[in-house]
Structure 1
Amino acid sequence: MNVELRHLRVVVLVAEAGSVGRAARWLKVSQPSLTAQLKRIETAFGGELFERSRTGVTPTALGRYAVDRARAILVDVDHLSATVSAMTAVESSAVRLGGFPTAPMSGIASRLRDHGEIEQVSIEVEWSTSVLLQQLESGRLDFALLREFPGFELRLPTGVEACTIVESESAYVVLAADHPQAVATRLRGEIDLAVLSGEEWIGEPPDDSGFHVLFRAACETAGFSPRVEHHSVDTSVLMGFVTSGQGVALVSPTSYRMLSSDVTTRALEGDPIHRRLLLAWSTESPRAQMASDVCQMAIQAYDEAFAEHARRGRHQQRMHVA
């Protein structure tokens, strides 16, 4: 017979009761049944754990060691059980959302917080798509907002699924509001990438998304090789360079939070650079059953961010025309 936790509890209870009869009453079993069980436990331990007398039982040397170790083990097991239960309770009411820096992230988080079953939303901002997928696969994230560029299609790990939030999101160029090309294209709202051949570019550091490969390919198709003079993951730094006329940059059409009256955006003619946005989730996550709802939240958050960007763009046009 293998010794199990229930056997350790019996040993401790008999020692605390001081007699098999009293322990049987506490356990609400018959005394003969408990006596037989105690014999089997002692056989498994390889020796007597208690000395019997007419007045009760007393632990032997082996019994004292067994009782002490059993108490310690049971305390650890009870603590483990309580800790895991507490963690499960917290995690079951929390959602861990990851993704690259983009305006819809905050909109998704806001909608999750408004969900009746969600008590906490944690955000993990990460540029690397492969890192986000690893975090989903390992269970560190429940959901992640991902970007996918043509020719660099994502390979989802086993246990990770995804839905499309936006089939094709075009890249926009952001320029200083008084930039000659911003003025020249004010009414049209689009700009030919080729006219920016002499510009210095500010971009995010190279990553594994495929964006930088496609950006350089688009520029070469337009007849030039881009001069990327500055890299920054801090959008305020990027906007500082653009505002001061030190360069131009590519942004998403939902980047309204980065914009000020000192800069403006233009769509690129021919849509040479675009991406697909996806929401991915771990099928092992306790929140996997919410995937359909969270996908809808992500679509709504994106539509809201896009509409706000368009509204601010129209407002900027009116300001500059005036």
Structure 2
Amino acid sequence: MELELRHLRTIRAIADAGSLTRAATDLGLAQPALSAQLKRIERALGGELFERGRHGVRATALGELVLERSRIVLPAVTELQQEAARFARTSRATACLRLGGTHGPLLGAVVDRLADVTPDARVTTCTSWSERELAGLLTEGRLDFALAGTCGSAPPPGAEGLVWQEVAVDPVFVMVPEGHALARPGEVELTELAGEEWACVPGDGCFGDCFTAACARAGFTPHRMYETDTSSLVHLVQVGRAVGLCRATFPNTPGIITRPLTGTPLTWRHLLGWHRVTQRAQTAATVLAQARLAHEGVAARSDSYAEWRAAQPVP
């Protein structure tokens, strides 16, 4: 009999259970059947793997050796199976690019550009407020690429095998209604907004903590913060309920003025992620280049951002 992976799993189950009776129950087998299977495995390996006693079983020296090796082999095989499944799903979807992203204008702009450079590919999208969820979908092979972001220099969503490349870094602007006292040209001091209520879109990064820290440095504690979807955020700003926080690429919107904050106390880093095993380097390079060009287009369409960029000193 040749040793198979299922035999290693049986040995691990017996060791974990501590007795043949409990292991048989866990494996859904009758105890005599498990005992017979163990004897066949032991004959194949050349010796006893467990000592039987009144209180259960204990691994022999040979058993310890086999268990030690199984702790390496079984996870490695599981990882191989997962990577193969991801690769197979990607190979079946060569005519389709599956993009994920947080809500915002950049995702649509990337789809638009990819439609030009890959006219034969079908492009689908998935949106989420959670960067960690997007990272998980990449890891599982359910997305090909994801547009996510981090606050300032915070690290990207962590998951083994993922590659994250920077698309661009934007300042965070504030949104005020047209009739607001600060709806004037130029930058706004954060301290001028100390008495306001605030609104932003949700997320699972550190943006909320970074905003609170920026306010503390400016000498105040922010009042109520509304975390809500983009449409509701726009409404709260338009009716004067709150001042909104947004990426500088936020598009021109009737009834709303976006303004930069003096000293740029908050920034947002746009990232493109993919899994290194399932994506070809050429495909990743193409999507990354189009994401960067898409960002430039989105930034140029925001009047306030274009004005701010024009006023910055040439590096």
Do they superpose with TM above 0.5? yes
| 1:281-300 paired onto structure 2 within 5 Å | 281-286=274-279, 289-300=282-293
Given the alignment, which residue of 68, 93, 96 partners 2:95?
A: 93
Q: Secondary structure at the match of 1:202?
A: strand
The CA distance in 1 between the partners of 2:89 and 2:135, in whole Å, is 23
Report the alpha carbon displacement of residue 273 of structure 1 after superposing the two structures with TM.
0.5
Work out whether residues 190 and 267 of structure 1, in 8 Å CA contact, stay in contact via their aligned partners in 2. yes
Tell me the secondary structure at the aligned position of residue 284 of structure 1.
Answer: coil
Residue 26 of structure 1 aligns with which residue? Answer: none
1:247 pairs, out of 242, 246, 270, with 242
* Structure showing greater Rg: 1
1:203 aligns with 2:176: no
* 1:98–1:143 Cα contact (<8 Å) kept: yes
1:175 is the counterpart of 2:176 = yes
Aligned to 1:73: none
For 1:251 and 1:111, the matched residues in 2 are separated by: 23
How far has the Cα of 1:203 moved from its partner?
Answer: 2.1
Which of 215, 220, 239 does residue 219 from structure 1 map onto?
A: 215
Secondary structure, counterpart of 2:264 in structure 1: coil
Scaled by the length of structure 1, the TM-score of the pair is 0.64
Conservation of the 8 A alpha-carbon contact between 2:188 and 2:261: yes
Unaligned runs of 5+ in 2: 1-87, 308-315
Letter matched to residue 219 of structure 1: C
Per-residue CA deviation, residues 277-321 of structure 1 (Å, 9 max, x unaligned), is 11111123355530111111000100000000027977xxxxxxx
Task: Show the 5 A alignment for 1:1-322.
Answer: 91-116=93-118, 118-150=120-152, 152-154=154-156, 156-166=158-168, 168-182=169-183, 186-187=184-185, 189-205=186-202, 207-233=203-229, 235-256=230-251, 259-260=253-254, 262-286=255-279, 289-310=282-303
When residues 176 and 132 of structure 1 are mapped into structure 2, their CA distance, relative to the original with a 3 A threshold, is same
| RMSD of aligned residue pairs (Cα, Å) | 2.5
Aligned-partner SS, 2:302 = helix
How many residues are matched? 222
Q: 8 Å contact 1:174–1:251 — kept in the other structure? A: yes
**1:173 positional shift:** 0.2
Contact 1:172 1:251 in 2 (8 A): yes
Q: Which runs of 4+ in 1 moved over 6 A?
A: 86-89, 311-314
| Aligned residues of 2:170 and 2:267 also touching (Cα < 8 A) | yes
Inter-partner Cα distance in structure 1 for 2:156 and 2:227? 25
SS in 2 for 1:181: coil
Cα offsets for 1:34-74 (capped at 9, x unmatched):
xxxxxxxxxxxxxxxxxxxxxxxxxxxxxxxxxxxxxxxxx
Q: Secondary structure at the match of 1:208?
A: coil
Q: Secondary structure at the match of 1:194?
A: helix
Identity of aligned residues (%): 32
Q: Is the 8 A contact 1:204 1:231 kept in 2?
A: yes
